[in-house]
Amino acid sequence: MVEPSHELVDAIYRDKVLQARRMSLEEKFLAGPQLFDYACRITMDGIRSQHPDADERRVRDILRERLELARRLEQVL
């Protein structure tokens, strides 16, 4: 697999920052839940990869467990 160049990664990051700066407060407020949903979908894909025999209910249970663990870790820090 070919890794993207540092220049490409930097350009994509810069574009995303500029795009975020152009967003209205309302758009930024609405982006939070969208980003959370996106992160959950990516995490669930990883869970499916780690647990190929898990059904959707089990995948969601594991996601909930991980979110709860993250909340507890945030409280400690």
The model's pTM: 0.70
> What's the pLDDT score for residue 1?
79
pLDDT (tens digit, 9 = 90+) per residue, 38-77? 999 999 999 999 999 999 999 999 999 999 999 999 999 7
**Buried b vs exposed e over 45-69: b needs ≥16 C-beta within 10 Å?**
eebeeeeeeeeeeebeebbeeeeee
- Please write the tens of the pLDDT for every residue from 30-46: 999 999 999 999 999 99
